[in-house]
Amino acid sequence: MNIYKGRVVTLNLEEIPLPNGNVAKLEVARHVPASSIVPMTDDEKQILLIRQFRPVIGQWAWEIPAGLIDPGEDPLTCAQRELEEETGWMTEKVEPVAAIHTSIGFTDEVIHIFKGVGLKQTQKKQEATEVIVEKFCTRDEVLRMIANREITDSKTLIGLFYVLLMPATGN
Amino acid sequence: MNIYKGRVVTLNLEEIPLPNGNVAKLEVARHVPASSIVPMTDDEKQILLIRQFRPVIGQWAWEIPAGLIDPGEDPLTCAQRELEEETGWMTEKVEPVAAIHTSIGFTDEVIHIFKGVGLKQTQKKQEATEVIVEKFCTRDEVLRMIANREITDSKTLIGLFYVLLMPATGN
């Protein structure tokens, strides 16, 4: 049963059959997929993070650039577009890192994560409701922020962990 | 404006003032907080993961044990309770790892993550709609699953990254 159909979220009460023969009755938030990117300088010594005010939690958060995928847009193009719009920097060298389920118990939202290397400055196009400051950080600074629990956003932590701590896996 | 008030999710259309003077109009899923745990054997050489069928995405997922915090319950107690209910194993040695925002753009959901060391077998109490198989994995097996992108659940990836790859930070 559909409760609400919105721009970003569609809320349903769903009855879904399970492998054990039972039926799960769940509140499900069907969500538009999103895309994000870990932007790095050419030498991969610095990461471009953003500090963004997030009205839903009423707090500033450290994040990697990200946003919703437009209808028909591919995840990689979306990541590049959001990077440029939010920070005024762009990159052409982009490779996939991972795709994550943000909260598997109540939403089907997937966030694609990319790594971008080699940044060129262009023009910011922030929306009126985006409150964003960008900052270049060294690898050590980012690892210290993670160790100090200053970063709490899931896509950001996972993107940084893969890129900084699992380089042997193709990132 | 409230759209729906459910057991787990409350969906609102909210107008939230921003630091730049504008007002954000957002679809917001207010969500009950949750708690999770990375359960390890006494020697910290094996991790107890679960393989769970997740109806919202129609797929089986590798996860750490987790669940919603009951009213008045503290996150640590919840993590211990969910571990025992879902796997039939319990641990008394528990320490906090992190608290994450699952999807900061549309929900205020927080998932607390703990590390538990030293497991004793008790009794499973799975719910009829929980389809769960537990599996002990070595550190190398878990790191290989992460490298192969077999784990896509955000709390699970972040808990495992902190415990396995950032031990110097107190975990």
- pLDDT at residue B171 above 60? no
What's the pLDDT at A167? Answer: 67
Residue among A14, A29, A56 minimizing CB distance to B105: A56
Nearest CA in chain B to A112: B152
What's the pLDDT at B54? Answer: 96
What's the pLDDT at A171? Answer: 45
Q: Which residues from A are below 8 Å from B149, CB to CB?
A: 98-99
What's the pLDDT at B168? Answer: 61
**A residues 32-51 closer than 8 Å to B (CB):** 34
What's the pLDDT at A170? Answer: 47
Other beta carbons within 10 angstroms of residue B133's beta carbon come to 11
- pLDDT at residue B67 above 80? yes
Residues A51 and A57: beta-carbon distance below 8 Å = no
Measure the CA–CA gap between B168 and B123, rounded to whole angstroms. 34
**Residue A87: alpha-carbon gap to chain centroid:** 14
- CA-based nearest residue to B98, from B85, B86, B80, B110: B110
Q: Do A27 and B20 touch (CB under 8 A)?
A: no
> In this predicted complex, what is the ipTM?
0.96
Say which residue, A167 or B145, is predicted with more confidence: B145
Give the pLDDT mean for A3-19: 96
Q: Which residues from A are below 8 Å from B65, CB to CB?
A: none
CATH topology for B33-169?
Nucleoside Triphosphate Pyrophosphohydrolase (3.90.79)
- CA-based nearest residue to B31, from B80, B101, B131, B96: B101
Whether the pTM exceeds 0.95: the reply is yes
CATH 3.90.79.10 domain residues, chain B:
33-169
What's the pLDDT at A168? Answer: 62
Q: Do A104 and B31 touch (CB under 8 A)?
A: no
Which of B12, B104, B107, B127 is the mutation pick for testing A, counting most A CBs within 10 A? Answer: B104
